[in-house]
Amino acid sequence: MRDAGGGPSAGIVSGGRSLDTSGNARLVPVSLVIPIRNEAATLPALLRAIAGQTVGPQEIVVVDTGSTDSGVAIIDAWRKREGWAMDACRVLCERGAYPGGARNAGIRAATQEWIAFLDGGLVPQADWLACLWACAGDQRSSGVFGLCSFTGGTTTERTLCALSYGVGSAHAVIPASLFHRSMFDAVGMFRADLRSAEDLVWTNAFVERYGARCVCRGARVEYSHFPPTLRAAIKKWFVYEVNAVRAGLMRRRHFAFALIALILVGLCFWRPYVSCVLVAVYLVGRGLVDPIRRSRMRPWWAGRPLAPLLALVAAPLLDLAKVAGAGAGWWERLSAKRT
């Protein structure tokens, strides 16, 4: 996908720390949009990383969707300490908004021609924005996707990471990316009615329009804040699947869920031994083999010997949460059609 004009010039960033004549980091015409809700624990690391960027944004727009912690106060103290003017680093209040609605509010409030996204819980590398900006110029692209590397701190977080994305894996995501604001006229804004999966909906629309994504592999952020407990993870996986159904995503996977469930229930009555064997194969495959396949770190449980055992317990519970979430989502859609 090529820019029709107005993109950044190629070669603005040549490596290292890009400085202006006063010795400060170069500021580029980018508005950094960050939705938050109760991110006080993760904001200090994120803000330190923003302050340490080799190329900085002209503007930061934080969209708070109803925090009840000290997150807004942390941002205000950081803004003053770093010398940001109030109109250049500000917090908008969009109480009750979901991530898509928060990003939309940030886009509308942004004053710069380019929009970059981060989320609470992410930590960008020092050259993250520099790499995105240089890539947009080199490729003459109006949309550049960055990569998110997934890790986990505690045993539970590491296990959840391994069962979902894979420890050490990297994926192109919206909250690591840079877009010219014209992209939101061409592709549309984010779905504001979804609690999750709104980024996948937008990315699918982007790919449908342009055919492919421009991915900058040097522009990386890190995410390690998976749910701290298995109970919280089950709730998160359930909610995600409900919203995936609302968004019209993953229909083949949901059909496979239903078919597998029917087969296992049938085998329990007619061939119980076969059913037990299949369940055992599933547990080994999903709880042991699949996390290894997904992860780039080998072994992914390094330093956490109990993690593989936790994965054997967590995998079926998370998959059941997905099945229940998909079922709830489809029941909601069918009920809406009947009314």
Please say whether the structural domain 26-223 has been given the CATH code 2.40.110.10.
no
Contact 33, 117 (CB under 8 A): yes
Residue identified by tokens 């990383």 is: 49
Q: Report pTM.
A: 0.88
Residue identified by tokens 């890009």 is: 18
CB atoms within 10 A of CB 53: 22
Helix (H, G, I), strand (E, B) or coil at 123: strand
Give 62-129 as a DSSP string: EEES---SSHHHHHHHHHHHHT--TTTEEEEE-TT--HHHHHHHHHHH--SSEEEE--TTEEE-TTHH
**Which residue ranges make up each domain of the chain?**
26-223, 230-338
Maximum C-alpha span of the chain: 78
Per-residue pLDDT, 334: 86
Of 179, 203, 207, residue with least CA distance to 116? 179
Residue type (1 letter), 264:
L
Q: Which residues contact 15 (CB under 8 A, 6 or more apart)?
A: none
What are the 10-residue block averages of pLDDT along the chain, 339 residues in total? 42 37 72 97 97 97 96 96 94 96 98 97 97 95 97 94 97 97 96 96 95 95 95 97 90 70 69 80 93 95 94 94 91 82
Bridge partners for 55 per DSSP? 26
